[in-house]
Structure 1
Amino acid sequence: MPAAESYLKPDVIRQIARLDLRAEFIVKGFLQGLHASPFHGFSVEFSEHRKYTQGDDPKDIDWLAYAKTDRYYVKKFEAETNITGYLAMDLSGSMAYAGEGASGSDSITKFDYAICLAAALAYLMVHQQDPVGLVAFGQKIEQSLPPKSRRSQVGTLLSLLAGLKPQGETDVAASLTQLAAMLRHASLVMVFSDLLTDEEPVLRSLQRLRHGGHDVILFHLLDKAEVEFPFHGLVELEEPETGQRVELDADGYRADYHEAVAAFRERYREECFKSGVDYVPLDTSMPFDRALTEYLLQRRRRA
């Protein structure tokens, strides 16, 4: 059996059929990696603490934490501690795309990558007793699961994730606006999408979530082939949601394509930074720990 950290690699995860095992192995490898990182101990030891600030009652200082860290922390009340999280999954047909892997076989699809990452985040959140729920959207929100923190929520959520199928067109902006209207309390919204749609409406919907007091992590997921464009000669490309086809000279088009993808990602990076949205560009060849670390960074900022 491979070492635990190898389960952070998408090509290894692809060989595991059950989503619950995929999620467990990803989290196991991630937590083992934390032991050698600056995050060691943070997610467990200080998930129920925050830094002492002026105005806090000194009687609430945790002196054991001070002895370990030489810093003042106060114990959080439960209402302060819990982050309510929502996993927002894009069901567009384009998420089913998988380019050719290194061995010549298809790599993990963008959607499979997204649900593995979402499943691992659900494990982490429930481990920290944070309520987590799910929305899955195409043209609108098609399925939803209210957030809960009990351990049984993981099984329910994974079962729903495993049954989702990406197909047809999507309206990311309308779905996120619908989600914003559903949320009654400040939440952490984790969006998983390739964002292959008009940018302006999506950016406005992300701003609307932020203006509603919600924290947002945008996991922008592309296939490795969509980033690198490893094609040669005359190729026919098909738009998966509309079926529209175009024939082009891949070698002559490559430089323009790379420039367009870089500009696409840079636009989201800049606009998300302005809005206070955490933008995480990923491709299907990247180990899962990069995305999971972004979750811990978000949690640290909230603490």
Structure 2
Amino acid sequence: MTQGRASEAPAPRDLPYRLFGRARGVTAGAHRAVGSGGAGAFLRHASLLELPDARRIDMRASLLDPLGGMKVRRFENRARIDVFILLDLSGSMTFARDGEHDPVAELCATIAHAALRGQDRFGMIAAGPKARADLAIRATRRRGVAEEVWRALRSEPGEGSGVAGLLDSLDQLPARRSLVFVVSDFLLPSAATDALLAGLWRHDVAPIVVRSSAVERRLPAFGLVETRDLETGRRRLVLMRKSLREAWLDKSRRRRAELERIFLRHGRPAFDLVDRFDADAFADYLLSGGA
């Protein structure tokens, strides 16, 4: 990717996301909704007494009914939903960026594009230790919102530690069940991650774990390693050796396993966003039941 291309928002594309369970919206859309009626996807036949709507009479099914009853087509309601991104903007989330790529901005802009193309509404809540009202987007179908998300996140450095701001912002989500993508590196105590997901109990939550492969692939077996805490800016030199390297890698594996248990307890597995945003891999995750 060239520098010029990297300054452009991702091309619009459809994503096969769906809401676990049934939507409760009243505006016609693409998602299975509560109830049935006279429009939408065909569900089953009903008797005219059950659904007294002569416009929906199916003459062929009525003639084939051995009891001679009048059959009416009954349809499954379909509705629009709200698609939200809950974005962690703490300092540790800046590690994934370089001069050409911003996988988080690409992910968020792609989700925004897909939501609008799917006739749903898109919204975003961004926060680190404090809520970021300047980056909040109320659920909307406004044209250009994906490009707005792209530009805003490309220039956003992130700072501080923790996700207290996200926890404080959960009441900004609608009461109606929505699809919420939680985008974070989840470098949090397990209790904090559990509290964040528990606060989203009324919604369908899809976690996106932002990771860097450098943590495992570029860790030397021996030598001096300079580390920097992205949230505090603190630097220190560490003498890396085989035993310490194995301990770090083991801790990373155990943390990821614990995260997966937490995610599954709250409904679904996570998508790993490692180094670069791969739209095809994300679509595969959604198709496999991720969202």
The normalised TM-score by structure 2 is 0.71
Deviation of 1:273 after TM superposition, in Å, equals 0.5
Q: Which residue of 1 aligns with 2:88?
A: 90
- Other-structure match for 2:200: 209
> Which of 112, 121, 126 is residue 111 of structure 2 equivalent to?
121
Q: Which residue in the other structure is 1:155 paired with?
A: 147
Q: Distance in 2 between matches of 1:162 and 1:194?
A: 17
On the 8 A contact 1:50/1:75 being kept in 2, the answer is yes
Aligned partners of 1:157 and 1:247: how far apart in 2?
37
- From the superposition, tell whether residues 13 and 117 of structure 1 become closer, same or farther in structure 2 (CA, over 3 Å): farther
Query: Could you say what the CA RMSD is over the residues aligned between the two structures, in angstroms?
Result: 3.3
| Deviation (angstroms), 1:149 | 1.6
Alignment match, 2:264: 273
Could you tell me which runs of 5 or more consecutive residues in structure 2 were left unpaired when the two chains were aligned.
17-28, 43-72
> 1: CA distance between counterparts of 2:30 and 2:218?
45
Kept in 1, the 8 Å contact 2:271–2:290? The answer is: no
Kindly report which structure 2 residues correspond to 1:46-61, keeping only aligned pairs within 5 A, or say none. 48=30, 50=32, 56=36, 60=39
Instruction: Note closer, same or farther for the CA distance 1:190–1:18 as it changes in structure 2 (3 Å cut).
Output: same
Kept after mapping to 1: 8 A contact 2:36/2:77: no
Identity across matched positions, percent: 24
TM-aligned CA deviation for residue 60 of structure 1: 4.7
Structure with more strand by fraction: 2
Secondary structure (helix, strand or coil) at the match of 1:140 reads coil
Q: Give distance in 1, aligned partners of 2:173 and 2:207.
A: 17
TM-score of the aligned structures, taking structure 1 as reference length: 0.69
Residue 91 of structure 1, CA deviation: 1.9
**Matching residue of 2:58:** none
2:77 alignment partner in structure 1: 76
SS of aligned partner of 1:97:
helix
Structure 1 unaligned segments of length 5 or more: list them: 1-11, 35-46, 64-71, 100-105
- Give the Å deviation of 1:260: 1.0
Instruction: Say whether the 8 Å CA contact 1:191–1:217 is kept in structure 2.
Output: yes
Where does 1:1-303 land on structure 2 (aligned, <5 Å)? 12=1, 16-20=5-9, 23-24=10-11, 27=12, 48=30, 50=32, 56=36, 60=39, 62=41, 74-77=75-78, 81-98=79-96, 112-142=102-132, 143-166=135-158, 168-172=159-163, 174-185=164-175, 186-210=177-201, 213-232=202-221, 233-252=223-242, 253-285=244-276, 287-295=278-286
Closer, same or farther in 2 for the Cα pair 1:157/1:242, shift >3 Å? closer
CA offset digits 1:136-166 (Å, max 9, x no partner): 2121221311111232333333333334222
Structure 2 residue aligned with 1:8: none
Count of aligned pairs between the two proteins: 245
Cα deviation for residue 56 of structure 1 reads: 4.1
The alpha-carbon distance between structure 1 residues 144 and 56, as it changes in their structure 2 partners (threshold 3 A), is: closer
Between Structure 1 and Structure 2, the one with more helix by share is 1
Paired residue type of 2:238: L
